[in-house]
């Protein structure tokens, strides 16, 4: 397995909000980055977004290196086979277990034996994802927070077979990207979403049952518990579809009725109102 000093190139699979953010912080940390997505337009949009983000950070004095130099370390591709030169893989596609497994199964056949696989999944079992490969000891969860360039945490999740060396490498890489790490065992929701999502789900029950309107729920939690934003606003920023998917994982994985997704949350998702990314969620954008 590659030592951290030997990791020169990081591949990121998925050019959405999370994938582009991970690619950005990896490039900022000095790594060569290959970002892979099956949509060329998605890749172009991701690079444009990274360019804007870097320009803002440079303007504010948050980074010293000139944005064009950082961007020069990012390459894009639509082919998994182009990732063969990478030393570390981070998958960041949407929460679809079957698709993630298919990608990792393909990568397992393509990538050299020393390469570590990490998934940015926010709730899916790492042990199950690792089972799609012949390298479960080199498979780990690496859950970045959104927006990646701003949020300081990476939640590292150890699967059943994850080796100590894989954990240490992932921790050091995260720190090199400027992140603080916490370590979770492989149980539904891990640490952050095991605690956060039931709170968000309960906010939807509070709204559904008419206890208060959305604005008062958010103001109450924001000012009453000193959170930067209320739970319904946060849900809109995360994506109501993502919140619903995570609650289903918690409910299915733990079997406790307290994790049952709120019917109102499901109703928003069924209507296609996913939050900020679609322009409509609990609030309009």
Task: Tell whether residue 18 is among the known ligand binding residues.
Answer: yes
Question: Which among 119, 174, 184, 193 is annotated as catalytic?
Answer: 193
Q: Helix crossing, 192-208 with 231-238: angle to 10°?
A: 120
Kindly name the residue from 119, 120, 123, 143 that is annotated as catalytic: 143
Annotated binding-site residue? 176: no
Does 5 show up as a binding residue in the annotation? Answer: no
Residue partners of 251: CB distance under 8 A and separation at least 6? 259, 260, 261
Is 251 marked active-site? no
CA 158/CA 190 separation, integer angstroms: 10
What is the four-CA torsion angle of 18, 21, 27, 29, rounded to 10 degrees? -100
- β-strands 153-158, 88-91 pairing: unpaired
Does the annotation flag 186 for ligand binding? no
Catalytic site residue from 91, 119, 123, 155 = 155
Residue 66 is a catalytic residue? no
Q: Annotated binding residue at 123?
A: no
208 annotated as belonging to a binding site for a ligand: no
Say whether 179 counts as a known binding-site residue: no
Does the annotation flag 37 for ligand binding? yes
Would residue 94 show up in a list of annotated catalytic residues for this protein?
no
Yes or no: say if 205 and 262 are a contact pair by the CB < 8 Å rule.
Answer: yes
Query: What pairing do the DSSP bridges indicate for beta strands 32-36 and 74-77?
Result: parallel
Residue where the block lists tokens 């997704």: 261
56 is in an annotated binding site: no
Catalytic site residue 102?
no
List the alpha helices (DSSP H) in the chain: 17-28, 40-59, 67-71, 97-110, 126-130, 164-176, 192-208, 214-225, 231-238, 240-254, 263-270
- Whether residue 213 is annotated as binding a ligand: the answer is no
From 120, 122, 174, 184, the catalytic residue: 122
Q: Are residues 144 and 117 in contact, defined by beta-carbon separation less than 8 angstroms?
A: no
Burial, 135: exposed, middle or buried (Cβ in 10 Å; 0-12, 13-18, 19+)? buried
95 assigned binding-site residue: yes
Q: Which residues are catalytic?
A: 122, 143, 155, 193
Binding residues: 14-19, 37, 53, 60, 95, 100, 122, 146, 277
Binding residues for NAD(+): 14-19, 37, 95, 100, 122, 146, 277
Binding residues for CoA: 53, 60, 122
């Amino acid at each position: 397995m590659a030592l951290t000093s030997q990791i020169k190139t990081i591949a990121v699979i998925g050019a959405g909000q999370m994938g582009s953010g991970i690619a950005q912080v990896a490039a900022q940390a000095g790594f060569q980055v290959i970002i892979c997505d099956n949509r060329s337009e998605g890749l172009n949009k991701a690079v444009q977004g990274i360019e804007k983000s870097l320009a803002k950070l440079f303007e504010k004095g948050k980074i010293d290196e000139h944005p064009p130099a950082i961007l020069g370390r990012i390459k894009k591709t639509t082919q998994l086979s182009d990732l063969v030169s990478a030393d570390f893989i981070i998958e960041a596609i949407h929460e679809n277990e079957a698709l993630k497994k298919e990608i990792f199964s393909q990568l397992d056949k393509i990538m050299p034996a020393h390469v570590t696989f990490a998934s940015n999944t926010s709730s899916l079992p790492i042990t199950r994802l690792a089972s799609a490969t012949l390298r479960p000891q080199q498979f780990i969860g690496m859950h970045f927070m959104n927006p990646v360039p701003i949020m300081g945490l990476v939640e590292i999740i150890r699967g059943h077979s994850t080796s100590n060396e894989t954990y240490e490498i992932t921790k050091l890489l995260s720190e090199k990207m400027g992140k603080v790490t916490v370590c979770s065992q492989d149980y539904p929701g891990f640490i952050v979403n095991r605690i956060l999502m039931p709170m968000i789900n309960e906010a939807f029950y509070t709204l559904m049952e008419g206890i208060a309107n959305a604005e008062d729920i958010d103001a109450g939690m924001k000012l009453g518990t000193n959170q930067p934003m209320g739970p319904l606003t946060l849900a809109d920023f995360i994506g109501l579809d993502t919140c619903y998917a995570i609650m289903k994982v918690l409910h299915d994985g733990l079997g406790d009725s307290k994790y049952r997704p709120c019917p109102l949350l499901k109703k928003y998702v069924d209507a296609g109102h996913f939050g900020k990314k679609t322009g409509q969620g609990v609030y309009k954008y």
